[in-house]
Each structure stands twice: as structure tokens, then as C-alpha cells.
Amino acid sequence: MNWLDKLEQKFGHFAIRGLMTYIVGLNAFVYLLMYIDRTGTFIDKLMLYPSLVLQGEVWRLITYIFIPPQASPLWIIFALYLYYLIGNGLEHEWGSFRFNMYYLLGMIGTTAAVFITGGGATSTYLNLSLFLAFAHVYPDFQLLLFFILPIKIKYLAWLSWAGIGITVLFQPLPYKIIAIVSIINYFIFFGRDFFTSAKTRRQVYSNRKKFNAKLPRNFTMHRCTICGITEKDDPNMDFRYCIDCEGDYEYCMEHLKTHEHVKEENRGINKGKD
């Protein structure tokens, strides 16, 4: 990402170190205030509403990221810890500036989606973009599902992508727009990886196709030294090389243990007789 490198050289000193720590801390603080304000007025003051932003309540462009998920105290602890883990993991991998940029692009995407649709927004899709990025960078990282079952995070990411796909296919247009635009930061950071991977797969497929086309029609990978059977004669037959034979001698399973082992000295004697 040359453009990121250039931006980091110019503005890297403005990066907020440990950004996710501050965001998680403010999420926890707002969650506590939710119990004091049972009317929901305080939370409503933090949500991102385009019409109210245009009326001068510009703080909503930032404060919506501090609204925690609506969950029980036990689950909110798990959720905030997961946010902390994901954010710090990405910052450790990318550095503070790139993580700041990823989060900022996610905020811009969310804001754009909300202004296009005219609805309200919290940080749900923004946090989802963090989760997807973490799963892309650390696909084999394990989480304890329900605090018991270990599961690799890439499988949970697949479920998240399935949910986004269902939203795009079956939900009304405003939901489609929010689902796509809010995770634009993910595609900006990882879009090239997908194109490169797809290009590599096409090249591998093309090379394999060309290689197979050049092979003679009667080409076989396996042939029994004793009976001459090949994988074309019996697709279910297994073939093995004998470790006791001196040389590359392959046998079908019927002759693997019953054949006479080939030794260099025996081959020399037989050649002499010939």
C-alpha cells in the first residue's frame, strides 16, 4: 500500500497509540451510564442521526462509536474484551497509524452509509469490520465459543460474511447500502489480496490445463512393476514404493508384500547372464 506508506511518513506522528483501549474504556463508561439513565435519552444523544448532525449536533459524528452493544453484563465484558483483543492485535500487526487509518475509514464509511440512507447508526458494522480484518490477519486464532468450545475465528468470519450476503440479497435497499459501505475499509485494505489470490488461482488452473494437454493420452502416474496394472486400469487401486527394493520400484497392493525384492547385486548377476 504505497499510499499508506506516504501518508504514514507525513502524518504518522499524529497516530493515537492504543486507540482501542480508549474506545473500549469509553464503551464501558457509557454502558454504566445506561443503567443510570433508564429512559435511553443519553444513548439517543450519542447516536448518529444525519438530520441532527446537519442541525449542528456534530458530536454525533464521533460519539456513536462509544455506544456499547445491548447485552447482559456478562456478555458486555466478553464483547469489550474481544474488541480490545482485536484492536490491539491489529495495531500490533500494522502499527498505530495504519490501525488508526483503518478505523477512520470505517467511520467514514459508516457516516456515508447513514447519510445516504437517512437512518440512525451505532458502531455495529464498524466493529464488524474490525472483526473481519482480525480474522483475515489471524485466521487460525481460537476463541472459546460460549466460553467452552474452541473455534477458529475464520469460521466465525465466514458466518459473518454469510450474514452480510443475506442482508445484501434479501434486505431493503437502505440495509444493503449500510452493509456494503460500512465495511468499505476492509475492501480498501484487503481488496488487492482478493484480486491477487484470484489471479494466482486462474494462473495455476491455466498452467495445469496446459500441462495436462501436453501429456500423452496413455500417460500414467503409477504402474505395478510385477503385473503392470496402472491407475487407469483400476482407479481404486493404491500403489506404493517398496523401501526394501534398491531403486524406484512401485507395486500395486496385491504385489507389494509378495514380490521378490530387487537388489543391486541381483541385478548385476542377471545382467551378466544376459
* pLDDT for residue 96: 92
Give long-range contacts, CB 8 A cutoff, 24+ apart: 217-225: 222/250, 223/250, 224/250, 224/251, 224/252, 224/254, 224/255, 225/249, 225/250, 225/251, 225/255, 225/259
* pLDDT for residue 270: 45
Of the listed ranges 1-5, 16-20, 126-130, the one predicted with least confidence: 1-5
**In DSSP terms, which residues pair with 149 in a beta bridge?**
145
Helix pair 2-11, 96-117: axis angle to 10 deg = 110
Of the listed ranges 3-7, 16-20, 97-101, 237-241, the one predicted with least confidence: 3-7
Report helix, strand and coil shares of the chain as percent, to nearest 5: 65, 5, 30
More confident residue, 30 or 198: 30
* pLDDT for residue 151: 86
Query: If DSSP codes are grouped into helix, strand and coil, which group holds residue 70?
Result: coil
Q: What's the pTM value of the predicted model, to 2 decimals? A: 0.70
Q: What is the CA radius of gyration of the chain?
A: 30
* pLDDT for residue 181: 83
Specify the amino acid at residue 154. Answer: K
Specify the amino acid at residue 121. Answer: A
Does 268 score more than 60 pLDDT? no
| Nearest to 154, CA basis, from 132, 175, 169, 171 | 132
| Nearest to 64, CA basis, from 109, 101, 98 | 109
d(CA 65, CA 83): 12
Residue 200, Cβ density class (10 Å: 0-12 exposed, 13-18 middle, ≥19 buried) = exposed
3-state secondary structure 194-253: HHHHHHHHHHHHHHHHHHHHHCCCCCCCCECCCCCCECCCCCCCCEEECCCCCCCCEEEC
* pLDDT for residue 232: 81
Model confidence band, residue 272 (pLDDT cutoffs 50, 70, 90): very low
Specify the amino acid at residue 178. Answer: I
Query: If DSSP codes are grouped into helix, strand and coil, which group holds residue 40?
Result: coil
Specify the amino acid at residue 254. Answer: E
Q: Which domains does the chain have, with CATH numbers?
A: 2-193 (1.20.1540.10), 217-269 (no CATH)
Q: Please report where in the chains the cell 489480496 appears, as a residue.
A: 193
d(CA 249, CA 70): 67
Model confidence band, residue 21 (pLDDT cutoffs 50, 70, 90): very high
For the stretch 100-125, pLDDT in tens is 999 999 999 888 888 888 777 778 88
For the stretch 156-175, pLDDT in tens is 999 989 988 898 888 888 88
Judge whether 212 and 136 are in contact, CB under 8 Å. Answer: no
* pLDDT for residue 55: 92
Q: Please report where in the chains the cell 469489550 appears, as a residue.
A: 80
Q: Please report where in the chains the cell 450519542 appears, as a residue.
A: 46
Region 50-76 average pLDDT: 88
The 8-class DSSP code of residue 69 comes to P
Judge whether 60 and 48 are in contact, CB under 8 Å. Answer: yes
Q: How many residues does the chain have?
A: 274
